[in-house]
Amino acid sequence: MTNHELLIDLLHQVNRKLGEKGREVIAQHKFPITTMLIVKQINLEPGITISELARKTNIAKSHISNIVKDLSVQGWVEKHNDVRDQRVLRLFLSPAGTEHLGFIGREVRQQFAQLLAPITDSRATQIIEALQEILTALEITQAKEYPLD
């Protein structure tokens, strides 16, 4: 196996294991992962519609509707009619939803920080530089595939 193949495998394993750890923290809050995906997407795109959420998360509209209804009852999501088209419902996180998402996000980051604590600062710097190289390569490739006109 070449070093590049090993790197690919290691990146895949690290990504998978970090995802598992993140899901464990989220599960401790009795917060289903699909709900978390929806809340995060609403946070990223305030005013998103249920149809747009379905396309971006690959979750059925009916399932999203039920989750959004529950989140609305809990006070985490606010639904507002679109100002240009009253038939369109736009979704926003409420202050309580934003606070809850932030709390879980901080807890996940804290768990990750504990996992990475044994890595020395100098080694962390080397890993950061390597990951930045990978990210730059991905961005260059993406720019070539989807150039802005």
Write down the pTM of the prediction: 0.73
Q: Which residues of 114-140 are buried (b: 16+ CB within 10 A; e: fewer)?
A: eeeeeeeeeeeeeeeeeeeeeeeeeee
Q: What angle do CA 33, 35, 39 make, to 5 degrees?
A: 115
How does pLDDT run across 59-118, given as a tens digit for each residue? 999 999 999 999 999 999 999 998 888 888 999 999 999 999 999 999 999 999 999 999
Mean pLDDT, the chain, integer: 91
CATH class assigned to 18-103: mainly alpha
Say whether pLDDT at 149 is over 80: no
| Structure confidence at residue 45 (pLDDT) | 96
CB-count burial class (<10 Å; 0-12, 13-18, 19+) for 57: middle
pLDDT at 95: 96
Is the model's pLDDT at 147 over the cut of 80? Answer: no
In this structure, of 3-17, 18-32, 54-68, the range with the lowest mean pLDDT score is 18-32
Domain ranges of the chain: 18-103, 114-149
Structure confidence at residue 86 (pLDDT): 84
92, β-bridge pairs: 78
pLDDT value of residue 28: 87
